[in-house]
Amino acid sequence: MRIKIFLFLYNLLLLSGLIAGGCLLIPLILTSSKRRQTFLYRLGIKPPSEMTGRSSKPIRKPVWVHALSVGEVLAAFPLVQALQTRFPKRPLILSASTQTGYRIAVQHFSDKVAAIVYFPYDLPFCVKKTGNRIDPALMIIIETDIWPNFLHFMQTRNVPVMLVNARISENALRTYQRFGFFTKLMFGAFTTVCIQSQADVSRFIRLGVERKRLELCGNIKFETQSINMSDLNIERFRQQLKIPAFDKIVVAGSTHPGEETIILNAWNRLKLAEWECGIQNAECGIGNVESGFPILNSQFRIPNSGTLLILVPRDPHRAVSVRQLCREAGLFAMTLKQWQKNVDSDSDEIPDILIVDTIGILKKLYAIAHIAFIGGSLVNCGGHNPLEAAAFAKPILFGPDMSDFALIRDKLIDAQAALQVSDADSLHNAFKKLLTDPSYGHKMGHNAYHILQENKGAIAKTVDAAVRCLLK
């Protein structure tokens, strides 16, 4: 009875919001290519087979793994591999909620799972349409994207549902506790919750989740798989991207708006310090502009001196605006596609900065980096997964906000595998230290890889929990 009241209030709120915002929602969908391209799929109108281009042959009682966006999709890779090994005759379906997450899933999983689908909107008819089509034997949700109507549908179909790699911060705990009755009902819909740490177990218990539903499994992101690349393969990857063999390469991965300005400020100071011409500030016109960058007059440009910065915006569509920021900083930048075209035209122009305007290659870029900066951390975005760089034994830098990876952050800092910076000054100093002292960076990278290896084991525990769910 309580769950029916909860769902009634929840759906009433959803309906009110749709009615109130309908006049804004339709133009938003029509003017946004991302939303327009995913809308019919997430409504459940277009079936999964149309999304993957696979045959319409029925997929019976699969294990359905859901990953919200890019980070969760990449974390799903070793989990999917382990599930395939444990359940060789059971088909697997992978879903994502965002277009970027879906494209990454297609790129990495198209030959590994039976279908790749979009997760439905949490409206009763959308959930029912997609849920009935897939008809899973087990539902696995990675970390987040918890929706009441979806969970209730799975309960009515007696489908066990797992929440894996679950964590909850103290701030999130306080927010959930304000809605304690509803939170307890929502988390009570999970058959099993696989928890990252003992502290998270304690917080879930404080939310009212039964201890018998909780399993301490660890963090599956420590199972990040490095790409098996020999030195020859790395060189081939360089050649494919047409990146020259610079002495030092810094990769800033998954950067967000506002973050590139700080990174470029620090990088510009580094390039100015490297400049061997010895021209005094008064002669070359170094000064500040409204953007806050130290720059050169337009007739001057800092010559490339063996270091390259590769910026990888979280949203590749921002590449053009990021290039404009580079121009304002007096730095010569090209997008990766422009650079590849430029090389084909036999131009001798070598940029100071490459801006990646495609998806799916960040992990490989960490393989050729000498330093890895983790984006989403100099602005309040919670950071991104530093273990992708640790898998290649790279020294790691990140900003003050790594709240989404707090446990990993603490382990890396404690092991002297990462440096946390706060602004352009400290980032510049970290760049300078690592670029001028290779042995220091090598030791940091070794420590990062060691942390990654010694914390593995979460995937095996999670798959064991999945076996028990299917047997219930």
The catalytic site residues sit at 72
Dist CA 196 CA 177 (whole Å)? 20
* CA proximity to 470, closest of 155, 138, 163: 138
Q: Residue 273 is inside which H or E element, if any?
A: helix 259-274
How many angstroms from the chain centroid is the CA of residue 417? 20
Dist CA 113 CA 229 (whole Å)? 24
The DSSP-derived string for 425-453 is HHHHHHHHHHHH-HHHHHHHHHHHHHHHH
* Letter string b/e over residues 251-280, b meaning 16 or more CB atoms within 10 A of that residue's CB: bbbbbbeebbbbbbbbbbbbbbeeeeeeee
Return the structure tokens found at 238: 């360089």
Q: In what order do the strands lie in the sheet with 353-355?
A: 333-335, 353-355, 307-313, 248-255, 371-374, 396-398, 418-420
- Rounded alpha-carbon distances, angstroms, from residue 149 to 66, 177, 185: 15, 21, 12
- Rounded alpha-carbon distances, angstroms, from residue 223 to 34, 99, 115: 30, 25, 23
How many angstroms from the chain centroid is the CA of residue 86? 26
Q: Residue 262 is inside which H or E element, if any?
A: helix 259-274
The set of residues, in sequence order, having a beta carbon less than 8 Å from that of 171 and lying 6+ positions away, is none
Dist CA 453 CA 369 (whole Å)? 20
Sign of the C-alpha dihedral, residues 45, 48, 51, 54?
Answer: negative
* First-to-last C-alpha distance (Å) of the chain: 24
Return the structure tokens found at 104: 């990454």
Dist CA 296 CA 327 (whole Å)? 11
